[in-house]
Amino acid sequence: MARVYEAPAAQGGHPPDGASSRDGESGASPRGEEALNQAFERIEDQVPDRVSRLIGWLRKPEGRWVRMPLGVVLIIGSVLSILPVFGLWMLPVGLMLLAVDIPFLQGPVGRSILWLERHWKRLRERWLNRS
Predicted TM-score of the model (pTM) = 0.66
- High-pLDDT (> 90) share of the chain, %: 16
How confident is residue 29, by pLDDT bands cut at 50, 70 and 90? low
DSSP structure string for 66-131: HHHHHHHHHHHHHHTTTSSS--TTHHHHHHHHHHTT-HHHHHHHHHHHHHHHHHHHHHHHHHHT--
Tell me the average pLDDT across 75-93: 83
Between 97 and 17, name the one with better pLDDT: 97
pLDDT of residue 10 exceeding 70: no
- Determine which of 3-17, 36-50, 61-75 has the lowest per-residue pLDDT on average: 3-17
